[in-house]
Amino acid sequence: MSTLFVSHLSKRFDAFEALRDIDLTLQTGEFVALVGASGCGKSTLLRIIGGLETRSTGRLEVDGKPIAGPGHDRAMVFQDYSLYPWLTVAQNVRFCRGLKIYSKNQSSSEIDDSIRRSNLLIDLMGLTRVRDARPNQLSGGMRQRVAIARALMAQPDFLLMDEPFGALDTQTREVMHDLVLHVKATERSAFLFVTHDVEEAVYLADRVIVLAPNPGRVDSVWPIDLPARHQSLKMTPEFLHIKREITDRIRATSGMYSDLAALQALSGGA
Amino acid sequence: METVQENSITLPPATLPHLHNRTPLWTVRGRINKRLYQLIALASFLLLLGLWWGISASGVVDPLFLPGPGAVAQCFVSWLFDQDLLNDTGISLYRVFAGFGLSAVMAVPLGLYIGAYQPVRAFFEPLMEFSRYLPAVAFIPLVMLWAGIGEGSKISLIWIGTFFQMVLMISDNVSRVPLSQIEAARTLGATNTEVVHKVLLRSAMPAIFDTLRLTLGFAWTYLVVAEMVAANSGLGYAILQAQRFLQTERIFVGIIVIGVIGLVTDQTLRWVHRKLFPWAKQ
């Protein structure tokens, strides 16, 4: 059981206040989605937790130990897949096993275990058929499966996902959503998932956190208490209700509004 | 008649690929097939040869200024069999590859670390930018003073002409490695050294190889300069000698031999690139 603890965290880029006073706790087995209007700092928060950005003030701890930089306990999945094009699918998945942090004091049974695990992940992600292919031969959805498998190979306590399906088409996204839920059921990682897609957030997460921009801060937290996930759930009144509520919240915080009537009046008057 | 017409209308367009699917030749970034490409490339060489032959055969230019292809071919044969063309070519190749190799061995690690670490960049990059603009040819007197007139001076000059360009181009190749590839490695637990060797170097390798291919061309330029000033062998030296004795066709042979060597090495390196880095787009 691991706990990620964020308290009074703030981030400034010179004059720009990106995040103000963020509190967040994430525990093994949880799936938390961060949503919010663009500029709310959701990706920045994820990158700070991943150790890729520094915080300005505040506490950031994993099991009581402060986070000083990136680590394999917090593996990350990026929107642009970031695979290694010179490696095959299987080699990409096993990339972390070639790093010093894993190779010291490794017994042969541990090596066997890691090979078994990588094969398991390749199976789980439906990559068996393409295990010897190179990333540039794969579709976007398949590439993101490789990236997720590669991150899971590190057996992270926290899997940080930064708009991982933002570049995929709707049908592929649905497949990926169910795949992620399946991974969540089989792996012992906690998930922190950044997205701008409210439907995705509600479908995947146990808890949705809405961030508001200028400066980035926690606007509201929404526990999602829905029955077992299934694609048809997205059309049920309960699902649509919470989706609408969260969407309205984001709209209210964004300060942006669209008014088709006003636009039509404008062009009519010209 | 009616039915036939109807049938022909309902035929899917896929049955007429030769009419509809051919890309026009003059599309921006359009593609043409390999054979056509080779044909056009060959045509350019033949046209040049034809033009050369036509002008020299017409007699409007004195053969002293422009010898015909026949005379140049004759000179090539006699230089090859009766004199020491292979020897001259060999020594020139040795100098180019020694100077170029020395540059590459030094420039690849330095460029890699400039591209990886900002303090290294701050220390070296302005220095390299400055050195890049120093005219290599102007170093000839210094190089002769320091390295004498032996092989060292030729190799040093080629090094001066290629090293600084190479370092800057390689550091640029390394800087272009996508940040997310680096960040993914770091979140998987890679150390800085591992990021440099397992991500930056591997990811930039195809681009670095291309940089080396391009700078090999610069090496030939400086070779000829060095051999014209301070040598008693090599293709550049032979060209200069030929000028003294007004053997224009020999000058032509020297230039063409260098051109052919360049073309062949370049094509070979492109082929090696495709074999070594099949994932990289060229």
Do A58 and A139 fall into the same domain? no
Residue pLDDT, tens place only, A126-181: 999 999 999 999 999 999 999 999 999 999 999 999 999 988 898 989 999 999 99
Among A126, A146, A166, which residue terminates a domain? A146
Q: Are residues A124 and A11 in the same domain?
A: no
Tell me the CA distances in angstroms from A90 to A122, A130, A149, one per residue in order: 7, 9, 10
Give residue for tokens 């590839």: B181
Q: Are A95 and A139 in contact (CB under 8 A)?
A: no
Dist CA B27 CA B30 (whole Å)? 5
Residue A117 maps to a domain: yes
Structure tokens, B250: 């020999």
- DSSP string of A43-98? HHHHHHHTTSS--SEEEEEETTEEP-S--TTEEEE-TT----TTS-HHHHHTGGGG
CA separation for the pair A23, A211 (Å, rounded)? 11
CB contact under 8 A, A52 and B186: yes
Q: Check CB contact of B176 with chain A, cutoff 8 Å.
A: no
pLDDT digits 0-9 by tens, B99-136:
999 999 999 999 999 999 999 999 999 999 999 888 88
Question: Do A162 and A256 belong to one domain?
Answer: yes
State whether A171 and A262 are in the same domain. Answer: yes
Of the ranges A180-189, B174-183, B207-216, which one carries the lowest mean pLDDT score?
A: A180-189
Q: What is the C-alpha to C-alpha distance for residues B124 and B234, in angstroms, rounded to an integer?
A: 35
ipTM associated with this complex? 0.87
CB B254 within 8 A of CB B82: no
Residue A196 domain-assigned?
yes
DSSP string, B165-179: HHHHHHHHHHHTS-H
The pLDDT tens digits for B234-270 are 999 999 999 999 999 999 999 999 999 999 999 999 9
Instruction: Please indicate whether, in this complex, the C-beta atoms of A82 and B183 are within 8 angstroms of each other.
Output: yes
Residue A266 has what pLDDT? 84
A205 and A181 together in one domain: yes
Q: Do B189 and A72 touch (CB under 8 A)?
A: yes
What are the pLDDT digits (tens) for A94-129? 999 889 888 766 778 888 888 899 999 999 899 999
Q: Which two tokens stand for residue B10?
A: 């309902």
Residue B20 — pLDDT band, cuts 50, 70, 90?
Answer: low
Q: Does A74 touch chain B (CB under 8 A)?
A: yes
- Rounded to a whole number of angstroms, the CA Rg of chain B reads 26
Name the residue with tokens 């090979």.
A115
Residue B9's pLDDT band (cuts 50, 70, 90): very low
CA-based nearest distance B180→chain A, Å: 5
Q: Contact B217/B228 with Cβ under 8 angstroms?
A: no
- Are residue A187 and residue A210 in the same domain, yes or no? yes
Flag whether A265 is in a domain: yes
Tokens of B280: 């990289």
Is residue B5's pLDDT more than 50?
no
On whether residue A21 sits in a domain, the answer given is yes
Residues of A in contact with B199 (CB under 8 A): 84
Q: Is the pLDDT of residue A2 over 70?
A: yes
Return d(Cα A19, Cα A9) in angstroms, integer.
Answer: 7
List all residues of chain B from 223 to 282 with a beta carbon under 8 Å from chain A: 277-280
Under 8 Å CB-to-CB from A98, ≥6 apart: which residues?
B198
Q: Between chains, do A84 and B190 touch, taking CB under 8 Å as contact?
A: no
Peptide bond before A215: cis, by omega within 30 degrees of 0? Answer: yes
Asked if residues B108 and B174 have their Cβ atoms less than 8 Å apart, the reply is no
In whole angstroms, what is the distance from residue A122 CA to residue B191 CA? 26
If one counts the domains in chain A, the total is 2
Closest approach of chain A CAs to the CA of B84, in angstroms?
Answer: 45
Residue B11 CB burial class (10 angstroms; 0-12, 13-18, ≥19): exposed
Q: What is residue A216's DSSP assignment?
A: B
* A230 and A117 both lie in a single domain: no
Rounded to whole angstroms, the Cα distance separating A148 from A125 reads: 8
Q: Higher-confidence residue: B42 or B24? A: B42
Q: Looking at residue A105, what is its pLDDT? A: 63
Q: Report the pLDDT averaged over residues A26-44.
A: 92
Looking at A127, A146, A165, the residue that finishes a domain is A146
Domain that holds residue A134: 89-146
Domain boundary among A146, A167, A183: A146
Domains of chain B and any CATH numbers: 83-276 (1.10.3720.10)
Query: What is the token pair recorded at A34?
Result: 């961060």
Domain harbouring A11, CATH code: 3.40.50.300
Q: Please state at what angle helix B85-116 crosses helix B248-276, rounded to 10 degrees.
A: 40
Instruction: Give start and end residues of each alpha helix (H) in B59-150.
Output: 69-81, 85-116, 118-132, 140-147
Whether residue A82 and residue B184 make contact (CB cut-off 8 A), yes or no, is: yes
Residue-level pLDDT at B125: 93
- Orientation angle between helical segments B179-187 and A140-153, nearest 10 degrees: 30
Residue length of chain B: 282
| Residue A84: inside a domain | no
Instruction: Provide CB contacts within 8 A for B243, sequence distance 6+.
Output: B251
Whether residue A46 lies within 8 A of chain B, CB to CB, comes out as: no
How many inter-chain contacts (A to B, CB under 8 Å) are there? Answer: 74
Nearest CA to A190 among A155, A147, A241, A227?
A155
Residue B280 has pLDDT above 60, yes or no: yes
Is A33:A204 a contact under the CB 8 Å cutoff?
yes
Residue A195 in tokens: 């997205």
Q: From the candidates A62, A86, A93, A160, which should be mutated to test the interface with B, based on the most B CB atoms within 10 A?
A: A86
Taking only the tens place, the pLDDT of each residue in B74-107 is 999 999 998 889 999 999 999 999 999 999 999 9
Question: Pairing mode, if any, of strands A31-36 and A190-194?
Answer: parallel
| Min Cα–Cα distance to chain B from A13, Å | 19
Q: Would you say A100 and B194 are in contact if contact means Cβ atoms under 8 Å apart?
A: yes
Nearest to A209 by CA among A19, A28, A34, A73: A34
> A61 has which bridge partners?
A5, A66
